[in-house]
Amino acid sequence: MAVVLVLVLLVVGSIAFHLLSPWWWTPIASNWSYIDNTIVITFWITGFVFTAVVLFIAYCILRFRHRAGNQAAYQPENKRLEWWLAGGTAIGVAAMLAPGLVVWKQFVTVPADASVVEVVGQQWQWSFRLPGADGRLGRADTRNITPENPLGLDKNDLAGMDDVIVQGGELHIPVGKPVKLLLRSIDVIHDFYVPQFRGKMDMIPGTVTYYWFTPMRTGTFEVLCSELCGVGHPQMRGTVVVETETAYQAWLQQQQTFSQSLASAEKSAAK
């Protein structure tokens, strides 16, 4: 009876903790409420299975407990029961996977009118690159990295000379407009994550990953690295500022382009 009581209290306590405790996500600030909904569906399914299995174990312990003179019945197989268990498991797994697949398709299907921002991760800071007046990002390669060219832009690509470089500073984006993030790592695996935006993606050295989102409210949000990337991982933080279009354009005009940063580096080297 003590074991049965412990199992029942485990179920009741788990449900009460989920419903009454203050834990929950941070308030969402983008269009990805679909991700929250998918997690809620997963909680409902796994919570139901957890409750059913633990209560069933408690029932079996109570119902089939040892009694003097009773003999256990051995049944080596039960095909009907096996089909029910396999079918129920398949339905449960499909119910958890299907919403995620739908959301994933939306997650990587970028709207045609999305602006582009490149995020560069390196131990242990974030840098950003935005298109210049031509609306295009120039080519970049890790092999091009030098002290005066920390993001590895191709100096022979004219499309990149007007790219806006924000190294180790704040990223500003306009509210209500979709943004495609191009994610690139210079050294190890990083993961660009803003909790209020929900979206996140690993940054793999040697490739470019991406996702998109639409910021829905103005504010200042902290960027975290969600992949263990070395001893400075906890300090790898940044800032995203979501603001009005007017404020965004004013900020953009104050930022330095790649050609300007090269000129500044050459001037400093000549002194």
Q: CB–CB of 199/107 below 8 Å?
A: yes
Q: CB–CB of 171/239 below 8 Å?
A: yes
Q: CB–CB of 194/219 below 8 Å?
A: no
pTM of the model as a whole: 0.80
Surface-to-core class of residue 18, CB atoms within 10 Å of its CB (0-12 exposed, 13-18 middle, 19+ buried): exposed
User: What are the C-alpha distances in Å from 148 to residues 120, 122, 172?
Assistant: 16, 16, 23
Terminal CA-CA length for the chain: 84
pLDDT in tens, the chain (271 residues): 788 888 889 899 888 888 888 777 888 999 999 988 888 888 888 888 899 989 998 998 888 887 777 777 777 888 888 899 899 889 888 888 888 888 899 998 999 999 999 999 998 899 999 998 888 888 888 888 888 888 888 888 888 888 898 987 789 999 999 999 999 999 899 999 999 999 899 999 989 999 999 999 999 999 999 998 889 898 899 999 999 999 999 999 888 888 888 877 666 666 6
Query: Per the structure block, which two tokens stand in for 156?
Result: 């022979």
Sketch the domain layout of the chain as residue ranges: 1-17+26-64+79-108, 115-270
Find all residues with CB under 8 Å of 207, minimum gap 6, and list them. Answer: none
Alpha-carbon distance of 170 to 239, in angstroms, equals: 5
Residue 27 burial (CB count, 10 A) = 9
Q: Which fold has domain 115-270?
A: Immunoglobulin-like (2.60.40)
Q: What are phi and psi of 205, to 5 degrees?
A: -55, 135
